[in-house]
Amino acid sequence: MSEQTPLLKVRDVKVYFPIPKGRDWPWQPMPMLKAVDGVSFDLYPGETLGVVGESGCGKSTLARALIGLVKARSGEITWEGKNLAGLDDKGFHDVRRDIQMIFQDPLASLNPRMTIGDIIAEPLRNYEPGLSSEEVKQRVRQIMDRVGLLPNVINRYPHEFSGGQCQRVGIARALILKPKLIICDEPVSALDVSIQAQVVNLLKELQQEMGLSLVFIAHDLSVVKHISDRVLVMYLGNEAEVATSESLYANPSHPYTQALLSAVPNPDPDLERNKTIQLLEGDLPSPINPPSGCVFRTRCPKAQESCAKNKPELMGVEHHQVACPVVMAG
């Protein structure tokens, strides 16, 4: 991977949201909710980067910043050499042809007043207005067939479909323009387990066929293991650990990653019965007023005095980096 040129480069991206009612007097600085507080990574052609962490860690906000749905306060998001961080909606228009998104709630992400065919065709009408109606219909039917939707449902509405079928519609809509990158924001969390497997396997097949890169966001670490080449672990808007999938699951280094993986069910009943779950003590700190230094230190079993002083940076070898000097020193 290191010999390739990254398709997407993210450097120290921060996304803050102002809290207008969070101050007592008008002259006081407006409090900021630090949803993403300095995240960096590279994504290579054909690669899948899994992004994991508990609810509220900033995964979805990061995804929306990558595609321009929310604005980054600072940092760089470089797509094929072009910095996207300062672009307005008009500037993002051309980029979105190559970067598409699949959303968490499959039904809520589809317009209930439009037929399935119109929903899937909408990107074509925006980006390829010169196509005839017959050409649009042919492209729509081709992609519907590829994602497992029967052609006779083209004139039906979203409420007539199951969650899994609606997510296939969302995948078809994302793929109709033949993008280079798809950002998957917890695309299977609202689906039954058996349907989750179908959707994940479909994404893997499509990735192989089309040479797609994926940013796959999830809180289910077993799903992320199945689809990802590398994994980024986030906690309270910060990076905790970045590693290849094989290295992370075999040897989790950060105490937070260890706690997350200890909660993943094991299919072997003997191993599941004898394993030790590492429970995190205390409550998740507020992103409005996060702890100084390492944001995980208030819940970390290995925390030391020095952890309160400086924000840790990722350290380690290229295929496995950890934002914890205590772990690296040990």
Q: How many angstroms separate the Cα of 108 from the Cα of each of 68, 101, 169? A: 20, 14, 12
Amino acid at residue number 83: N
Q: What angle do CA 56, 193, 202 make, to 5 degrees?
A: 95
Instruction: Report the side by side order of strands in the sheet with 82-83.
Output: 32-43, 8-18, 74-79, 82-83
Amino acid at residue number 16: Y
Element housing 119 (H / E):
helix 116-127
Report the range of poorest mean pLDDT among 86-90, 101-105, 185-189: 86-90
Within 8 A by CB and 6+ apart from 103, the residues are: 109, 170, 185, 187
Element housing 18 (H / E):
strand 8-18
Q: How far apart are CA 72 and CA 168, in angstroms?
A: 30
Is residue 76 scored above 70 in pLDDT?
yes
Residue whose C-alpha is closest to residue 183's, from 216, 208, 155, 143: 216
Q: What is the dihedral of CA 254, 259, 264, 270, to 10 degrees?
A: 110
Q: Tens digit of pLDDT for each residue in 171-184?
A: 999 999 999 999 99
What sign does the dihedral 90-92-98-99 (CA atoms) show?
Answer: negative
Q: Report the DSSP beta bridge partners of residue 37.
A: 14
In whole numbers, what is the pLDDT of the chain averaged over residues?
A: 90
Higher pLDDT, 93 or 160: 160
Q: What is the largest CA-CA distance in the chain?
A: 68
Element housing 328 (H / E):
helix 325-329
315, 325 Cβ separation under 8 angstroms:
yes
Within 8 A by CB and 6+ apart from 276, the residues are: 262
State how far Cα 286 lies from the chain centre.
21
Give the pLDDT band (50/70/90) at residue 86: confident
Give the pLDDT band (50/70/90) at residue 2: low
Q: How far apart are CA 99 and CA 133, in angstroms?
A: 25
Give the pLDDT band (50/70/90) at residue 272: low
* Domains in the chain: ranges and CATH: 8-98+179-270 (3.40.50.300)
Give the pLDDT band (50/70/90) at residue 3: low
100, 92 Cβ separation under 8 angstroms:
no
Residue 38 CB neighbour total at 10 angstroms = 16
State how far Cα 300 lies from the chain centre.
25
Residue-level pLDDT at 190: 77
Q: Across residues 304-312, what is the average pLDDT?
A: 92
What percent of the chain is helix, strand and coil (3-state, nearest 5)?
35, 20, 45
State how far Cα 48 lies from the chain centre.
10
Is residue 166 scored above 70 in pLDDT?
yes
Q: Tens digit of pLDDT for each residue in 113-138?
A: 999 999 999 999 999 999 999 999 99
What token pair was written down for 59?
């995964």
Q: Tens digit of pLDDT for each residue in 273-291?
A: 777 777 788 888 999 999 9
